[in-house]
Chains A and B, each alone.
Chain A
Amino acid sequence: MTTTLLPEDQTPDPTPEQAPAPADRDRASQWRLVWWRFRGHKLAMAGLVVLGGFYLVALLASFLAPHSTSWFDEDYIYAPPQLPKLVDTSGDDWNWGPYVNGYTLEQDPDTLELTHTVDPGTRIELGFFVRGESYSLFGLVDTNIHLFGPKDPDQPVYLLGADHRGRDLLSLIIHGTRVSMTIGLVGVLLAFVLGVVLGGISGYVGGKTDGLIQRVVEFFMSLPTLPLWLGLAAALPRDWGPLQRYFAITVILAIIAWTDLARVVRGRFLSLRTEQFVTAARLDGSTRRRVIFRHMLPSFTSHLVASLTLSIPAMILAETSLSFLGLGLQSPVVSWGVLLEQAQNFRAMADAPWLLLPGVAVVLAVLSFNFVGDGLRDAADPYR
């Protein structure tokens, strides 16, 4: 009787990809090392995939969404979500192909209120690459093909339900991705410039300038930000267009958000100022600008990227809260916060709980940004 035992050292390497050969590691650039370490962080990778998906949706919004933001049908106010199905087993033969059930309309004889119920008897066929409303993709291609939708464009399809005007919530969430996911980026970019410049001056120059800038930072940090935002947002002229308002809101968000970044940058500058390579650069006769931008900044770019990523979700939450309170973006602009404003009406929420769904998108986006930011922060210093 023979038993074969696998020698223990023959078990396959559990992580062949994550542990590159030492020779590779010695030759790899800093960013490659950061990437290798980041890759090992599973939650961060998952976050990155989700974020990639969100931005893809933002980019292709008008193609992915069955309807445009201005489309509505007053007959289907607060129509509940329909569950898409693949096989129809009600008939004698199984009928393949995606479809949803239609609605039956009932009117309350006392209140005249219309209620919709999904009617399992009717069938609305769904199709991919169907023709619907025309739009222009990237402003270049004029087309009317949508990824999916009802084969007959006049049939009501509300996969995630309808809102108070009979608009398709799924389409609105898809279009809202565009504004909600970019407003954070623009705001963070502005805050980044302010934070790096002021934090850099504070940390590099030191002395009285440092003291003054630190007082300003402390002042901003000790303030409750929301009342301040609200005050500034309420003071925006009423006749401003949606685009002007969007820009003004990002500036308002950035005015208060730069302080965290300024702190990080200052701390880094303070600790780097006494490093030998900085002293060497200065002794070599480099100008102050060259020391800062050629020698000091590149040595903590990865840390900066991490703190930037971590400050985007705060911006998204801020925009959502402002819009939810009716003082941020306003319709016809569609963002997740603007959509959630409808749920502020308590009765509407009780009758149409699917109005809370844009909140799921907010939570998902914010969680992903937090995970990616955490992963980046852990990977930022690959030589540790």
Chain B
Amino acid sequence: MLGFVARRLGLMVPTLFAISLVSFAIIQLPPGDYATTLVSQLEDSGQTVDTAQLEAIRERYGLDQPIVVQYWTWISNIVLHGDFGQSFQWNQPVADLLSSRLPLTIVLTLSTVLFTWIVAFPIGLYSAVRQYSWGDYVATTVGFLGLAIPNFLLALGLMYIALTVFDADVGGLFSAEYEEAPWSLARFADLLGHLWIPVIVLGTAGTAGLIRILRANLLDELHKPYVVAARSRGLSETRILFKYPLRVAVSPFLSTIGWVLPLLVSGEIVVSQVLSLPTTGPLLLRALRSQDMYLAGAIILLVSVLTVVGTLLSDILLARMDPRVRLGIR
């Protein structure tokens, strides 16, 4: 087990390095550098540019240095000092901006993963055991629709229904009175009251995919000879199902977090934008639109790293459950 974790961690290092390179490349892509963007921003608002201040900025980000040095300055500041640079649009350190929003993104994503599992598991199980039943057809149809409807359309549709039928405004994660309030039990309850809509919207596609996978896996297992043997020995149907085929079918279920997580992180951006949630998604969009690249790069970096770490955790979990994975047998 330790060997597996070590191997897996070793594989993660080049991935993390590549992610940092890509994020840095995105920061560098727009024409001009941070200093020239800042100058044009200041001039647009009619302010004069302080040359000494500009020099300090060039010094701070190493803008006169070759690109490799710039990359090193950027990444070492992040890793060693937790300094992600400055957002010129907000005139705040990027780290401060993210500290309030990133936890909400993580809460939203994790709740959605839990939701996906809780919903997909019984439905997938039912669809496989009662194949071609009425319920199976409903589940399959809903599954297909869930995969075909873009997240934002679902969000818009739900919002429209909420607005016209229930006359409620469903945007945001908090009611107005809790928006700026410190954390308390009441604020937490308020968050839960708002969280369910984005969770449903985000979780639909993943749930649909998981139902199909679990159904297919379980159907493969259910027709194997060992099930017939167990049945002929007089074991009850429930016991047969839960003792053997389900355990085999569940392990791919766990490993799906590897593809569900990137999907959710992508979806989060669109859904949060539509429902105006105070998460990292809308912040990233605004940063990209105004070419506030240090902010955008930092968000892309953090979100990708979190995804990779999440995948790692699910792999370790899977290895604990399934010795074939742990020992590297295919």
Contact = CB atoms under 8 A, between A and B. Distances in A.
Contacts of B318: none
Interface in B131-173: 144-145, 147-153, 156-157, 159-160, 163-164, 171
B160 to A, nearest CB: 6
B289 interface: yes
A321 B149 CA distance: 11
Contacts of B288: 230-231, 233-234, 327
A327 B296 CA distance: 14
B272 to A, nearest CB: 11
A227 B299 contact: yes
B291 A234 contact: yes
B201 to A, nearest CB: 13
Nearest to B205: A317
Contacts of B277: none
Interface in A147-173: none
Contacts of B147: 366, 370
A313 B153 CA distance: 15
B182 interface: no
Contact of A222 (B29, B150, B171, B307): B307
B258 interface: yes
Contacts of A233: 288
Most buried by A among B31, B153, B285: B153
Given A223-B304, A230-B285, A235 B19 contact: no
B269 A227 contact: yes
A326 B270 CA distance: 11
Contact of B19 (A223, A226, A344): A223
A225 B262 contact: yes
B18 interface: yes
Most buried by B among A224, A227, A362, A366: A227
Contact of B284 (A227, A326, A350): A227
A325 interface: yes
Category for how many chain B residues contact A = 35 or more
B156 A320 contact: no
Contact of B265 (A224, A232, A325, A340): A224
A362 B258 CA distance: 27
B259 interface: yes
Interface residues of A, number: 41
Given A313-B148, A359-B153, A324 B289 contact: no
Contacts of B273: 325, 344
Contacts of A356: 153, 156-157, 160
Contacts of A222: 15, 258, 262, 307-308, 311
Q: Is the interface of B mostly helix, strand, loop or mixed?
A: helix
A349 B258 contact: no
A223 B306 CA distance: 10
A366 B148 contact: yes
A237 interface: yes
Given A346-B159, A356-B153, A227 B300 contact: yes
Contacts of A340: 152-153
Given A227-B269, A228-B22, A231-B26, A363 B311 contact: no
Contact of B289 (A234, A313, A349): A234
Nearest to A356: B156
B285 A224 contact: no
A185 B151 CA distance: 22
B208 to A, nearest CB: 11
Contact of B152 (A221, A313, A324, A327): A324
B40 interface: no
B266 A224 contact: yes
B150 A320 contact: yes
A215 B266 contact: no
Contact of B26 (A221, A226, A232, A367): A232
B103 interface: no
Contacts of A237: 31
Nearest to B269: A226
A316 B242 CA distance: 40
* 6 closest residue pairs by CB, A with B: A235-B29, A226-B266, A224-B265, A234-B288, A231-B26, A366-B148
Interface of B: 11, 14-15, 18-19, 22-23, 26, 29-31, 144-145, 147-153, 156-157, 159-160, 163-164, 171, 258-259, 261-263, 265-267, 269-270, 273-274, 284-285, 288-289, 291, 296-297, 299-300, 303-304, 307-308, 311
Given A231-B288, A363-B145, 8 more contacts: A219-B18, A222-B311, A234-B30, A234-B289, A235-B29, A325-B273, A350-B160, A356-B157
14 contacts: A221-B262, A222-B258, A227-B300, A231-B296, A231-B300, A234-B30, A235-B30, A324-B150, A325-B273, A343-B156, A359-B149, A367-B144, A370-B144, A370-B147
